[in-house]
Structure 1
């Protein structure tokens, strides 16, 4: 049954991404408005999350929304635990402000999906050119944060297996310190239902926990990231103790 549900959801996403991509490109061309274009793209991401609930039985539960800044001019760097594709769809669907992902430029080549994100005001980088890539993250990140857009990054850099921890890289905290924006850690247990690189998904509840903003002014990038890492990993163990008990 899980296989059938996963196939149906994939087909639904393939069918719906085409008209939504055309709507994104048309909105960008007609209005030139990044905000309007983002709203169209966000609608498809929310549709994907909602359809995952209906078709595959994957629900989500969020705690800590009260920790998010309410000032529309306040830029934030969101640092999110990355276990699957699910949270890349979920974060824009639940966050109250427009998000700008930092992502590898290869994704721009993905038909329809890549064309959509290419039309959005986000930060695509060439990972092979590390210094130039980071300069681009800082330059564009500062502009986006100044206008109230929240920059979202996965500090481990890639999807991590359930119950495991990757290397937390400091580029996100460097950006936060250089721009003065606070960082907000986010724990997500998506691998319980949507495992890394798995086609077959399982019904269940994905827990999302949003931590309190951590000021970046006057901090060192490595110790700030260590604080973020400690909070996220402790929260992951609280939210998904079964996975970490198995690993230990």
Structure 2
């Protein structure tokens, strides 16, 4: 019975979710594509805000953020835990202005990809790792010089809660090259929005923003190891949801 109830709530969520994608993707590309970055990006981020709001209304999933005071006043590179789609929507508007690193194929999706293009993301080809790394370096530095932070999921893909993963050094490389700090972010969204599952569980996602890690007189390996150690320890301490 509980599974049926949760499924019905998920169906309601996705109805609003997809209708809003069509609306924001279409209106964004028609009316905002020719406008400055700040205007078109803020319009599309209204969809991110709506998605998180609609998720709370339909599936009972809320969020609590700790460590907001740790966000630097200037541009930085955010390295975040990646467990679900949830954090891609939430962090993109919560940390704005910020450019997210994502796979290029997403930009080709109807409506959804149209909206993504308006936020000026750093789109990479995963089939060419060396080229992708070079592209991240160039585009990441460009954004940072313009005062726009960069959001990277160093694990590269969504990782199930409790599973081991390897953190890539691309984000730390950008920070060192640009001379900006790295901000580690821990979260447990995968407990409530599991990757590859239709059902969304009610509860409260915990997001913990760590203190900035200076890139001055440091290197990408040291910074990545420090961020990974902090993130994984914080994630391990986060409470688990009840199983349904």
TM-score by length of structure 2 reads: 0.93
1:53-202 aligned at under 5 Å gives the runs: 53-70=56-73, 74-95=74-95, 97-202=96-201
Aligned to 1:18: 22
Corresponding residue SS for 2:82 = coil
- Give the whole-Å Cα distance in 1 for the aligned partners of 2:164 and 2:89: 21
> Do 2:187 and 2:206's aligned partners in 1 also have CA atoms closer than 8 Å?
yes
Tell whether 2:7 aligns with 1:3.
yes
Per-residue displacement from partner, 1:127-160 (whole Å, max 9, x unpaired)? 1222221111111111100111110000111101
- Give the whole-Å Cα distance in 1 for the aligned partners of 2:104 and 2:176: 25
Over 3 Å counting, the alpha-carbon distance change for 1:50 and 1:80 in structure 2 is: same
Aligned to 1:246: none
Corresponding residue SS for 2:223 = helix
TM-score by length of structure 1 reads: 0.92
The Cα of 1:237 is off from its aligned counterpart by: 1.1
Tell whether 2:55 aligns with 1:52.
yes
- Give the whole-Å Cα distance in 1 for the aligned partners of 2:149 and 2:68: 15
The Cα of 1:88 is off from its aligned counterpart by: 0.5
The Cα of 1:240 is off from its aligned counterpart by: 3.1
Per-residue displacement from partner, 1:92-111 (whole Å, max 9, x unpaired)? 2322x311111111111221
Gaps of 5+ in 1: 244-248
1:222-233 aligned at under 5 Å gives the runs: 222-233=221-232
Number of aligned pairs? 238
> Do 2:44 and 2:118's aligned partners in 1 also have CA atoms closer than 8 Å?
no
- Give the whole-Å Cα distance in 1 for the aligned partners of 2:139 and 2:31: 22
**The one of 36, 40, 43 aligned to 2:43:** 40
Gaps of 5+ in 2: none
Over 3 Å counting, the alpha-carbon distance change for 1:184 and 1:156 in structure 2 is: same
The Cα of 1:185 is off from its aligned counterpart by: 0.2
> Do 1:99 and 1:152's aligned partners in 2 also have CA atoms closer than 8 Å?
yes
Corresponding residue SS for 1:29 = coil
Over 3 Å counting, the alpha-carbon distance change for 1:242 and 1:108 in structure 2 is: closer
Aligned to 1:219: 218
Superposition RMSD in Å: 1.5
The Cα of 1:162 is off from its aligned counterpart by: 1.2
